Structure 1
Amino acid sequence: MNPLLQELSKKLAERWATLFLGPGLLFVATAALARHQGFRHAVDLPFLRRHLSGITTDTRNRETAVLLMIAAFAALAAVIAGLLVAAAGRLIERLWTPTGTARWTGWLTAWRLRRWTRLRTALAEATTQAGATLAIDRLSAGTPLERHFPRPHRLRSRLEHWSEGRPDQPTWYAQRMAALTRRLHDRYGIDLALFWPHLWTIAGADARADVQAVQDNYASAARLAGWAVAYAIVFPGTGWWPALLIALALAAMARSRARAAVNTLVPLVESMADLNLRSLADRLGVPCPQTFTPQVGAELTTILRSTGTANTSPDPIRPAPR
């Protein structure tokens, strides 16, 4: 038992160092730098050099007690910052895939729909114009149309990047998960939120490990967005404008990583449903001789709802208990 506890303690310490202490110390150092430099001396290296030289030459700062106190204060501040950012990251995860019907979600959905409608109208106009030009000019055969008409290609890419189908969700992430839910309902007649805990239970270890890895990436992207918020707050507090640049860079990285995670998670969850629904039907005693049909899905739905199964994970993007 002692080796097991030692290994668990080691992994827990490594996780804390990775998630909280390391990024937290970097943030604390940046905040201290921002407080000293301010707006006027934001990138004034000689000003910073004189300040650091004064700190190192002060004999009081060489005392062991003072050094230990500074190290303890920095570590404590780093852990507190890390815990606050972790909480902010969980909140950002919820904001990326909201499940309620708050007023702000309706506003965001309407805005996304207006933007999607404008892009779709512009794409239709550009495609019509390109078709008319093509009919008149008779472009050379075999030449890619994107070279002669790049605008329809760009607009189509922007439209697909903006939303998967007509927007009915407040965020891109929620739209992707809603599209997955609709596809599975149309194909199998199932409600993914209801079936997901059972699919998770019977799935193989490799499939669950893959999904958990992507869920961790998504959570890591949300924490990165939380750090972006933290660095953005440094600017109004100190006037050190480079903090805004750091915040923008972190926010862009967080958005890119979150999108990549969702784009990876969707096919993983879909394949998990494709491969395990028949097994779930067999285990619950529902005949499924050939393919899993919507009729089988309706029977399973009745059984699962009659059992009163509570799903604490609204969608597969939420990490499952470990």
Structure 2
Amino acid sequence: MIEVLLGEVGRRINDRWLTRALGPGLLWCAVAAFAVLPGRKAVFDVHGAALAAADALDHLKDRVSLAVVVGSLVVAAAAAAAVCAQAAGRVARHVWLGSWPGPAGRVAVAVTARRRAAAVRRIAAQRRVVPAVYLPARPTWIGDRIRLADDRVAAQYGLRLGLIWPRLWLLLGADGRTDVMQARDRLDRAVTSAGWAVLHLALTPWWWPAALLGATLGAVSWWRARSAAGLFADIVEASVDLRHRNLVAELGFPVEEGRPVPPSTAAAVNDLLHKGASGHGHEARTGAESEPTS
């Protein structure tokens, strides 16, 4: 459900990759050039770096063809760095969402168990009763928060979010779609920032302050991702709260004014959207959790 929900909204976001990637890419190239600068005499030898840059510019002076080639190479290097940052960001996204494959899956199970036990102790101390489905089921808070969007909708309305969301999107007004896309866009920005943090950490062997820069950027990215994930899940749930009755009616099922959708109707809606496949719960959810094609 997590991947399909994020992917479904991501398809609707305009491609602004170049304008967003070029600036951070050029900044990373500048840091990388400073890190490997042969004439640097100290860790923060800004004066030496400035002299080296001035010498390079003097060398390119009155050599238009060479300047064009060098400029093109710098832009290409920035674009390549941006591609690497996006790839690293996708790995960070899977980590944040709790999708830990292979041997890391055993670690995920152990971390999830500890988070669940801690939540049970905290709830017991507060003398509260919480449905089991609301307890941690993933190793990360971000993964659980987005997962809960599906479970909360199912608990309240009996509808499977992975099934109704593509149809519900068609019923959202322009303002509603914009709110959802902006929240998803904030999450994408945090993911990309995490990728740049990894690239800055990669410069540590040549320039140790890059580790501080990368660690700081990674921490900020994680904090932004938590905030963005919470906002995204809240807006998705709000969209369902406001529009699910319209969707049920548009699909041809009776909806009584002022009364909730009956469980039998919700089950029929799930079955219809799942094209009659048996089992409204597990199978529908398994199909929704497949990796999107885009």
Q: Does TM, normalized by the shorter one, top 0.5? A: yes
TM range (shorter): 0.7 to 0.9
- Aligned pairs for 1:168-247 (under 5 A) are 168-236=137-205, 238=206, 240-247=207-214
Mean Cα deviation higher: 21-30 or 64-73: 64-73
| 1:268 Cα deviation after fit | 0.9
Query: Secondary structure of the residue that 2:198 maps to in structure 1?
Result: helix
Match of 1:32 in 2: 33
Please give the alpha-carbon distance, in whole angstroms, between the structure 1 residues aligned to 2:193 and 2:20: 10
Please give the alpha-carbon distance, in whole angstroms, between the structure 2 residues aligned to 1:264 and 1:54: 49
Residues 267-310 of structure 1 show CA distances to partners (whole Å, capped at 9, x for unaligned) of 211111111111111111111212223222111111111267x9
Match of 2:266 in 1: 297
Please give the alpha-carbon distance, in whole angstroms, between the structure 2 residues aligned to 1:39 and 1:166: 54
Distance 1:83 1:304, change over 3 A: same
Please give the alpha-carbon distance, in whole angstroms, between the structure 2 residues aligned to 1:213 and 1:312: 27
Q: State the TM-score, normalized to the length of structure 2.
A: 0.77
| 1:84 Cα deviation after fit | 2.1
Please give the alpha-carbon distance, in whole angstroms, between the structure 2 residues aligned to 1:247 and 1:185: 40
If asked which structure has higher relative contact order (CA below 8 Å, sep 6+), I would say 2
Q: Retained in 1: the 8 A contact 2:119–2:135?
A: no
Query: Structure 2: which amino acid aligns with 1:166?
Result: L
Residues 249-280 of structure 1 show CA distances to partners (whole Å, capped at 9, x for unaligned) of 11112111111111111221111111111111
Query: Secondary structure of the residue that 2:203 maps to in structure 1?
Result: helix
Distance 1:99 1:301, change over 3 A: farther
Larger radius of gyration between Structure 1 and Structure 2? 1
Please give the alpha-carbon distance, in whole angstroms, between the structure 2 residues aligned to 1:112 and 1:93: 17
Identity %: 30
Residues 157-213 of structure 1 show CA distances to partners (whole Å, capped at 9, x for unaligned) of xxxxxxx95321122111112222221111111221122111112222211111011
Distance 1:216 1:60, change over 3 A: closer
Please give the alpha-carbon distance, in whole angstroms, between the structure 2 residues aligned to 1:46 and 1:101: 47
Match of 2:9 in 1: none
Q: State the TM-score, normalized to the length of structure 1.
A: 0.71
Match of 1:143 in 2: none
More helix by share: 1
Match of 1:73 in 2: 73
Q: Retained in 2: the 8 A contact 1:199–1:273?
A: yes
Please give the alpha-carbon distance, in whole angstroms, between the structure 1 residues aligned to 2:100 and 2:34: 41
Which consecutive residues of structure 2, in runs of 5 or more, have no partner in the other structure? 1-13, 127-132, 278-283
Query: Structure 1: which amino acid aligns with 2:135?
Result: R
| 1:221 Cα deviation after fit | 0.7
Which consecutive residues of structure 1, in runs of 5 or more, have no partner in the other structure? 1-10, 128-163
Please give the alpha-carbon distance, in whole angstroms, between the structure 2 residues aligned to 1:108 and 1:92: 15
Match of 2:130 in 1: none
